[in-house]
Structure 1
C-alpha cells in the first residue's frame, strides 16, 4: 500500500501568529508646475465669471443715493430692499415667473420627447436618406432667429395663436428638438445591435424596444438635454418679445427689459430685477446639478 502524504495542518496559534497582509499604500502623485498653473487659471476664470453676479447681488441691496455717492464696488451699509419690492410689484413678478416656468418646462419635456422619436427613426430605424435629413436638421438649427420672425409671425397670426404662450412653446420645441435630434441620432446610431436583436427575438415591438430598452439606457443623456433646454428657453428674449406683447403673457427677461424702457428704473432697481430673474435658474441648476454631472460623465464610460 502506498502511503498518503498529507500537508501538515496549521494550528490555531500558528494562524494567529502569522502577520496580516499589509494593504498596498497608494502613492500620491506630486503636483507639477503644470497642475498648479491649470488650477490658477481655473480659479481666475471662476472669479471673472463670479464678479458680475457679485456686483448684481451687492447693488441689489443699495439705495440709489448710496449708489450715487459710493459707487458700484462698495458694500451696502444697510440692506435696502425697496428696489426688490418695487420691481416685484410693478411687473407682477409671480405671474411672469409662472409664464417662464410654464414655457421652459413644457419646451424641455416636449423637445426631449420629439428628439427621441426623431432620433429613434434616424439612428436605429435607419430610414432612407438619413444623412441628408440629419444635415437638413442641422442646417435649420443654424438659422438665426431674425430670419424666422416674419414667417412665424404671419403663421401664428393666421391660426390665432399670436400673443399666447403656446406660440412660443411650439416655436422653441421645434428649435430645441432640432439640436436634440442631431445629437441623439448620432448616439442612437452607435447603439448595440445585439441588445436590439435580443429584444426583437423576445417578441418586443418597435414601441416596446423604444420605451423599455432605448429610453432606460439613454436616460442620462436625456436628463442633460432637458436641463439645457429648460435653461436655454428661460434665457430667450427675441422671440418672446415678438410674440408675447401683452403684459399677462410676458416672461421674466421680457418684463425686465420692457419695464426698464417704460419706467426708467434706477440702477439699484435694475440690479434687483436682474437678481430676481437669475435666482430661479440658479435654484434649478443647483437642484439638478447631480443629475447634470451624472449625465455628462455617463457618456465617458461604456
Structure 2
C-alpha cells in the first residue's frame, strides 16, 4: 500500500505546533470603588471578630482578674473556673445532648417533609400550586410569638407539653415551610426529559423521587440540613416556653439561666457562650465544603 505525503509549498513557512503559548498576565488596577469595598469588608470582619475575641479572653479569666483588668485586657493567668462552674452548674453534657438531638432530628425530618411537599408542588403540579407556595411563604414571615398560645394549648391537651418531641414537631413544621418554598421553585425547573426517561424504564413516582430527584438535588438538600441544624440550635423562645423541666432544656436556655436580676458573673457567662459556640463552629467546619459545593452547585452547568 502506498502512502501519500503532502509536500510543503516553497513559499509556505512551517508552523511549529509544539511551540509553547505565551500567556500575558494583565495587571488589573484597583479602582477607588474596589478599595472602598475592601475597607468595608475589613471593618465588617473586625466588627464580627471583636465579640468572639472578648468571649475567648474573658472565658479564661478569674473574677479578680476581670475586676482589675477589665474586659479588654488579656488574662494574666489562665483560669478554668468559669468553664468548670458553668459545666457543673447547668449539667452542660445533658443540655448539649438535648440540643444535638433536637437539631439533628429537626434538620432530618424537615428536609424529608420539604422534599415530599416540593415534589408534589413542583413536579407533581398539583392544582392551585401558586396559592400553596404563597401560604408557605406567609408561614415563614409569621412571628413565633403569635404561635405560642395555640401551640401551648394544643400540646398541653395531647400530653406533649414539657417534652422534647413537642419542640421537634414545631420546628420541623416551621423549617419545612421554608424548605418547601425553596425546593418547590427548584423542582419546578427540573428537567422533564430525565423524568420521562425514568418513566420509560418502568420507574414509579416513588422510585423517581428517591432514585432520580433526590440524588440530583443532594447539594441543595445538604445546604438545607446545615441551615436547619444551626437555626434550630440557636432557637430560644419556643424551647423556653415548652421545655420547663431542667432535664429537657437546651444550651441557649442554660446560658440564659446564668443571668440574674442584680448580679451576673461575666467570666462564667463568657465561658457558657464559648461552650455554646464550639459545637456549632465544629459542625460548620466539618460541613464547610458541603455547604460551599451546595451553594455553588447551580452556578456552573
Which residue in 2 is equivalent to 1:241? 240
* 1:30 equivalent in alignment to 2:33: no
| 1:43 counterpart residue number | 42
The number of residue pairs the alignment matches comes to 292
- Alpha-carbon deviation of 1:141? 1.7
Cα distance between partner residues in 1 of 2:140 and 2:213: 25
Alignment correspondent of 1:177: 176
TM-score normalised over the length of structure 1: 0.92
Pair 1:144–1:4, CA change in 2 (3 A): closer
Quick check: 2:258–2:269 contact (8 Å CA) kept in 1? no
Distance (whole Å) between structure 1 residues aligned to residue 263 and residue 247 of structure 2: 21
- Displacement of 1:38 in angstroms is 2.2
Contact kept? 2:123, 2:188, Cα under 8 Å: yes
Q: In 1, are the aligned partners of 2:106 and 2:229 still within 8 Å (CA)?
A: yes
Cα distance in structure 2, aligned partners of 1:222 and 1:19: 48
Q: Deviations over 1:184-219 (max 9, x none)?
A: 000000111111111111111101110111011100
Question: Structure 2 CA distance, aligned partners of 1:19 and 1:197?
Answer: 46
The TM-score normalised by the length of structure 2 is 0.93
Gaps of 5+ in 2: 9-15
Q: For residues 235 and 95 of structure 1, what CA distance do their matches in structure 2 show? A: 17
The residue that corresponds to 1:15 in the other structure is none
Q: For 1:88-167, what aligned pairs fall within 5 Å after superposition? A: 88-167=87-166
Quickly say closer, same or farther: Cα 1:24–1:215, change in 2 above 3 A: farther
In 2 relative to 1, CA 268–5 (structure 1 residues): closer, same or farther, beyond 3 Å?
A: closer
Structure 1 range deviating more: 199-208 or 28-37: 28-37
> Relative to 1, partners in 2 of residues 1:4 and 1:124: Cα closer, same or farther, differing over 3 Å?
closer
**What is the aligned-residue RMSD (CA, Å)?**
1.9
In the alignment, structure 1 residue 254 sits paired with structure 2 residue 253: yes
Deviations 1:214-241 (A, max 9, x none): 0111000000000000000000000000
Correspondence 1:296 to 2:295: yes
- 1:229 maps to 2:266: no
CA change 1:4–1:74 in 2 (3 A) is closer
**Counterpart residue number, 2:57:** 58
Shift of 1:39: 2.2
Name 2:13's counterpart in structure 1. Answer: none
Q: SS of the counterpart of 2:247?
A: coil
Query: Does residue 210 in structure 1 map to residue 209 in structure 2?
Result: yes
Gaps of 5+ in 1: 10-17
Give the C-alpha shift of residue 35 in structure 1.
2.8
